[in-house]
Amino acid sequence: MTSSTTLQPPARSPHDELLSRIQARNFRVGIVGMGYVGLPLALLFSEQGFPVTGFDIDEAKVAALNAGSSYIVRIPAAEIQGARQRGFSASADYAAIGTMDAVIICVPTPLDEFMEPDLSFITETAKAIAPHLRRNQLVILESTTYPGTTEELLIPLLDSGNPNHLHAESRSDGSSPGFYVAFSPEREDPGNDTVARRDIPKVVGGVGPVSQELARALYGAIFNRTVSVSSPAAAEMTKLLENIYRCVNIALVNELKQLCERMGIDIFEVIDAAKTKPFGFQAFYPGPGLGGHCIPIDPFYLSWKARQYDFRTRFIELAGEINNRMPYYVVERTAEALNQHRKPLNGSRVLVLGVAYKKDVDDLRESPALTILTLLKKRGAVVDYHDPYFPRVGRGRHYELNLTCASLEDLAGYDCVLIVTDHSSYDYGRIVRDAQLVVDTRNATRGIESEKIVRC
C-alpha cells in the first residue's frame, strides 16, 4: 500500500514578502525632509507607482505640497499636482511613520561654527521616528555624512528609542529581531538637465544581507542601475570621495587662475586647450568660491572624522583653505579694478549680479555671493544685488544683509557691476554696454571685448 503526501510550499520569509511588495509597487515609502533632495526623490517614487508620503517639520512646505504648489524653481507645480493625483501627500505628523514600509531620511548635515559636523538634524529625526518603528521596516539614510554615522549614531538612536525594543539587523550574522537599515548617498545636481534622475547610478550599503537586498530592490525599482558596496561606511565614504575630488580640483584651478593672472595668461584658454586631450584630464573651472550644501561642507566631515584616527587630511584642508579665500580675493580684485578708475571701494556703488551658489538655481546655501556682499559692506561699499530667483536676501547663520533685489534699469549708475553667478537669463552684452565697469568672476562675458571688463 502506498501513501501520498501533499508537499507544502516552503514558508516565505518576511523579507521575501517585502521584496514581492516592492516589485508590485505595493510598498509604502515615507521620505523625511522635503528639500532639494527629498522632494525630487519622492516624485521619482511617485512616478514609478509607489505610494509616497513626504514628511517635514516645516508646515509651510507641507501645506504647499498638499495644495499642489512647488517652492523649488526647477520642480514645476505640475509635477507636484501629478504626484498628488497618484496619491502623494505631505505630513508634519511623525506618527504616520508607523504606516510606512520604508523610511528614507533626507535632512541637512551642515557644519557648526567651529567647522565641525552638525548632526542635529539626523539626531532629531531619529528620535522622532524611533517611537513609531515597527518590525520589518526599512530605514535608509541619504544625508551626506562621515563614515560610521549610520552604525555609530543612527542605529543606536533607533534601537534605544522605540518602545517595542526592536533592533536593527546585525551585520555580523544577518539576524534581525526588528528592522533593516542602509545608507545610500544622494546624488542630486541642481540645475543639471542633461542627466535624468533615473540614469544616475544609486550606491547602496546595507547593514547586513537582508538590509542590502531590500534597499537595492527598492532603489532598483526607480533607478536604472544600483551599485552595492560592502557596508554603510563604504557608501558614506563614496559620497565624500566624489565631493572631495571636485573640491580639490576646483581649488587647483582657483590657485592656477591667480598665478595665470600674474603671468598674463588666460586660465580659461588654458583649460579649453587642456580638455582636448581625450584621456587623463577632466575640466574644472575657477570661480568666486564654493557654494551649495555639498562641496564646501563634506570634505570637513572627513577631516573631522580622520582626527579620531590620529590622521591629518592635509590635502583636503589645503583645498578648503584655497576655496574659502576666493571671496576675499574677488573683493580685492574689485577694489583694484575700481582703483584703476580712480575710485576707492569705500563709498563706491557696487551691484552684485547673482547670489545663488550656481547658475539657474534658487539655492543660496553656502553661496560665495553672501560672503562677498558682507565683505563689500564691511569695506564701505554701497552694495545692491540682482538675482531673478531671490526677491530678498535677509539673514542666515553666517550673514545678515537685509537687501531687496535691485533693478537692472540703471546699470550706469553703479561704479562697478560684479558678476558672481552667471545666470543664463542675463544679457551680458547689454550689461557690458551699459555699465561703467564689469568685474567678471565666471567668464560670463567670454567673447565680448571691452576695456570695461576685468576678469578675475
Q: What is the pLDDT of residues 104-159, one digit of tens each?
A: 999 999 988 888 999 999 999 999 999 999 999 999 999 999 999 999 999 999 99
**Using CB atoms within 10 A of its CB, is residue 209 exposed (0-12), middle (13-18) or buried (19+)?**
middle
Q: Considering only CA atoms, which of 67, 71, 44, 66 is closest in space to residue 55?
A: 66
Instruction: Mention the CATH class of domain 254-455.
Output: alpha beta
pLDDT of residue 114: 82
pTM of structure: 0.91
State the DSSP code for 290.
-
Indicate if the pLDDT at residue 5 is higher than 80: no
Mean pLDDT, residues 199-221: 96
List the grid coordinates of 360.
539657474
The distance from CA 236 to its chain's CA centroid, rounded to whole angstroms, is: 14
pLDDT of residue 170: 80
pLDDT of residue 449: 94
pLDDT of residue 13: 62
11-25, 319-333, 339-353, 428-442: range with lowest mean pLDDT? 11-25
Look up the CATH number of domain 14-230.
Answer: 3.40.50.720
Q: Which string of DSSP letters, residue by residue, matches 379-416?
A: TT-EEEEE-TT-SEEEE-SS-EEEEEPPPSTTGGGSSE
3-state secondary structure of 436: coil
Q: Which string of DSSP letters, residue by residue, matches 150-189?
A: IIIIIHHHHHHH-TT---BPPTTT---SSBEEEE------
162-166, 274-278, 279-283: range with lowest mean pLDDT? 162-166
pLDDT of residue 57: 96
Q: Considering only CA atoms, which of 223, 238, 137, 134 is closest in space to residue 185?
A: 238
Residue 456 is among the residues annotated as catalytic for this protein: no
pLDDT of residue 434: 97
List the grid coordinates of 187.
546624488
Evaluate whether 437 touches 420 at the Cβ level (below 8 Å).
no
- Non-local CB neighbours of 156 within 8 Å, separated by 6+ positions: none
The distance from CA 149 to its chain's CA centroid, rounded to whole angstroms, is: 18
Q: What pLDDT band is residue 2 in, cutting at 50, 70 and 90?
A: very low
List the grid coordinates of 107.
535632512
Instruction: Give the span between the Cα atoms of 166 and 442, in whole angstroms.
Output: 53
Evaluate whether 316 touches 303 at the Cβ level (below 8 Å).
yes
**What single-letter amino acid sits at 334?**
T
54-58, 160-164, 188-192, 361-365: range with lowest mean pLDDT? 188-192
Mean pLDDT, residues 389-407: 88
Question: Given 106, 247, 294, 456, which residue is catalytic?
Answer: 294
Mean pLDDT, residues 238-252: 96
pLDDT of residue 177: 67
pLDDT of residue 173: 60
**Cα angle, residue 394 at apex, residues 388 and 395 outer, rounded to 5°:** 135
Indicate if the pLDDT at residue 12 is higher than 60: no
| Domain residue extents for the chain | 14-230, 254-455
CATH topology identical between 14-230 and 254-455: yes
Percent of the chain with pLDDT over 90: 85
List the grid coordinates of 254.
582657483
**What single-letter amino acid sits at 283?**
A
